[in-house]
Amino acid sequence: MTRNPGHTAFNGPLETGSITVVKRRQLRRTVLGTFVGNVMEWYDVGVFGYLIVTLGPVFLPEADPATQVVFMLGTFASTYILRPLGGLFFGWLGDKIGRKRVLFITLTLVAGATFAIGLLPTYAVIGVVGSILLVLLKMVQGFSAGGEFTGAVAFISESSPDKKRGFYAAFLDAGSYLGFALGAGIVTALQVIFGQQAMLDGLWRAPFLIAGPVGLIAIYLRLRVEESPQFTALLKQSSARATTGGLRVNPLRAFAENWRAMLMVIVLVAAANSAGYAFTSYMPTYLSTVLEHDAVQSNLISLPLLLLMACSMPFVGMLSDRVGRKPVLFAASIWVIVLSVPAFALLGSGSLGGTVSGLALIGVPVALYMGTLASTYPALFPTNSRTTNLGVSYNISIAIFGGTAPLVIDALIRATGNEFAAAFYLIGMSVVGLVAVIILRESARQPLKGSEPNVETEREAHILNAERSGRG
């Protein structure tokens, strides 16, 4: 038996590899290191999403309010244009040199771009150039974010015990929604304390500038994390390490070998994130512009639900470890299909109770989706091309169906004049997602594809080795 600071490799009787006994201390560092990155990425999404109505007059003051909202929603969507390219580049790099180093780069870029937005000159200073710079910075965020989440889910999945992979991976999306809630909460607090006029006069910068010190803390925590044991084992087995400093990764070959799994990810991401982005990034705008609620009140209504969703996700992940990924994802799909129309009917009821109930009906399936999918995606791909395949497929779908969801939903409502257009859009996405769930291979409590098992204790490794020896 050999040891290193990150894990214990338990050499089995077979020549194909070893069982990894995951050390709890290192696992905690891994969870925290990946968690803070998702908090940072989605902090900006929360800040920007809740400042859309504010930033319109700042960067496009001569336009009418409807045009300002459309421009800002389009600016938000522009974040996702470069995500597939970022997913390809950082995914390939993650499969070549390792997850840890790439995640350091992506986190630094995300935090730096968010901080830079807070320093931008406005329309009053440099005219439309300020708007162009805003779009460019959002695109930088999108490029770097293309490798952040997918690299993190691969990293934490490869570092977690197989029987609890759903629980630990769910902390990533919990971090996403906590980051969103943190950003939205800071914006809302500033609006309540200082008023909307103060936000327009320059206080809008504060939430973005906070990303500077918060990002430094997140980077420090990520630097303390060690490389995943499964990638380390793969790197040691490869002779490429001595000649190229990493593994040889051919993206085209990886796509050809795993295109079915990539298509599965694209469909699942489309179903889950169309609902997720509708809830997080569009609902404040929908409540304030379509239903004509006060902007601050709209934020205050949805914030507590965001926090509840985030806190529930690890429990959803734990549930998926027990009953399987497929039953939880099936429940999420059916929930959206059956209850989306009643949810939007409640939102339009005009009462506070109806609004909260409608948001809750949308939020529950989002929590079920997100709390389960972070552990589902990595299990579809082998270690040697996991972040390449996942980075491209996930981000293609996010770019088409996720980040654009607020803009598409807003356009559908305005074009049809029907507030239920949003519900029908979400239903359509989940119908397609349900088909994918039905044919999905169950991966709960099983080793990742092409990898040896990860276990919690040496006793569990001994038992597993004895079982394997007996079968041999």
Q: CATH number of the domain that 309 lies in?
A: 1.20.1250.20
The answer to whether residue 10 scores a pLDDT higher than 60 is: no
The whole-number pLDDT of residue 19 equals 85
Asked whether residue 10 is domain-assigned, the answer is no
Q: Could you read off the pLDDT of 437-462 as tens digits, one per residue? A: 999 999 999 999 878 899 998 888 88
- 30-39, 62-71, 266-275, 299-308 — which is least confidently predicted? 299-308
Asked whether residue 11 is domain-assigned, the answer is no
Q: Could you read off the pLDDT of 56-85 as tens digits, one per residue? A: 999 999 888 888 888 888 888 788 888 999
The whole-number pLDDT of residue 205 equals 97
Neighbours of 120 (CB within 10 A): 18
The answer to whether residue 243 scores a pLDDT higher than 80 is: no
The whole-number pLDDT of residue 200 equals 93
- 113-122, 256-265, 273-282 — which is least confidently predicted? 273-282
Asked whether residue 12 is domain-assigned, the answer is no
Distance from the Cα of residue 419 to its chain's centroid: 27
> How far apart are alpha carbons 390 and 141 in whole angstroms?
19
Q: What one-character DSSP code corresponds to residue 141?
A: H
Asked whether residue 14 is domain-assigned, the answer is no
Q: Give me the mean pLDDT over the 250-275 stretch.
A: 94
Q: Which residue has the tokens 């609620």?
A: 293
The whole-number pLDDT of residue 50 equals 80
Radius of gyration of the chain (CA): 22
Q: Could you read off the pLDDT of 150-187 as tens digits, one per residue? A: 999 999 999 999 999 999 999 999 999 899 889 988 99
Number of domain units in the chain: 1
Asked whether residue 175 is domain-assigned, the answer is yes
Percent of the chain with pLDDT over 90: 54
- 253-262, 271-280, 387-396 — which is least confidently predicted? 271-280
The answer to whether residue 277 scores a pLDDT higher than 80 is: yes
The whole-number pLDDT of residue 161 equals 95
The whole-number pLDDT of residue 58 equals 93
The whole-number pLDDT of residue 447 equals 93
The answer to whether residue 376 scores a pLDDT higher than 70 is: yes
Higher-confidence residue: 337 or 276?
A: 337
The pTM score is 0.87
Strand partners of residue 3: 8
Specify the 3-state DSSP secondary structure of 79.
coil
Strand partners of residue 7: 22
Asked whether residue 136 is domain-assigned, the answer is yes
Given a contact cutoff of 8 angstroms between Cβ atoms, the answer to whether 199 and 191 are in contact is yes
The whole-number pLDDT of residue 7 equals 44
Nearest of 166, 207, 129 to residue 327 by alpha carbon: 166
The answer to whether residue 123 scores a pLDDT higher than 70 is: yes
Q: Report the chain's mean pLDDT, rounded to a whole number.
A: 87
Pair of tokens at residue 91: 């995914």
The whole-number pLDDT of residue 31 equals 93
The whole-number pLDDT of residue 472 equals 56
The whole-number pLDDT of residue 13 equals 33
Residue 77's region, left for phi above 0, alpha for psi from -120 to 50, else beta, is: alpha
The whole-number pLDDT of residue 318 equals 98
The answer to whether residue 115 scores a pLDDT higher than 90 is: yes
Q: What one-character DSSP code corresponds to residue 399?
A: I
Pair of tokens at residue 38: 């998702």
What separation in angstroms does the CA of 34 have from each of 11, 197, 221?
A: 28, 37, 9
Asked whether residue 8 is domain-assigned, the answer is no
The answer to whether residue 471 scores a pLDDT higher than 90 is: no
> How far apart are alpha carbons 289 and 409 in whole angstroms?
13
Q: Give me the mean pLDDT over the 89-95 stretch.
A: 94
Instruction: Read off φ and ψ for residue 182, nearest 5 degrees.
Output: -60, -50
Instruction: Read off φ and ψ for residue 409, nearest 5 degrees.
Output: -65, -45
Contacts 24+ apart (CB under 8 A), 337-343: 337/427, 337/430, 337/431, 337/434, 339/365, 340/423, 340/424, 340/426, 340/427, 340/430, 341/420, 341/423, 341/424, 341/427, 343/423
Specify the 3-state DSSP secondary structure of 263.
helix
Given a contact cutoff of 8 angstroms between Cβ atoms, the answer to whether 295 and 464 are in contact is no
Q: Give me the mean pLDDT over the 289-302 stretch.
A: 70
Q: Give me the mean pLDDT over the 285-289 stretch.
A: 70
Distance from the Cα of residue 46 to its chain's centroid: 13
At residue 245 the predicted structure's pLDDT band, cuts being 50, 70 and 90, is: low
At residue 292 the predicted structure's pLDDT band, cuts being 50, 70 and 90, is: low
Which alpha helices (H) appear in 324-404, and where do they start and end? 325-347, 352-376, 386-397
What is the length of the chain? 472
Given a contact cutoff of 8 angstroms between Cβ atoms, the answer to whether 268 and 433 are in contact is yes
Structural domain range at position 172: 19-471
Half-sphere exposure of 411 (CA within 13 A, CB side): 10
Asked whether residue 13 is domain-assigned, the answer is no
Query: One-letter amino acid identity for 7?
Result: H
The answer to whether residue 109 scores a pLDDT higher than 50 is: yes
HEC sequence for 278-339: HHHHHHHHHHHHHCCCCHHHHHHHHHHHHHHHHHHHHHHHHHHHHHCHHHHHHHHHHHHHHH
The whole-number pLDDT of residue 434 equals 97
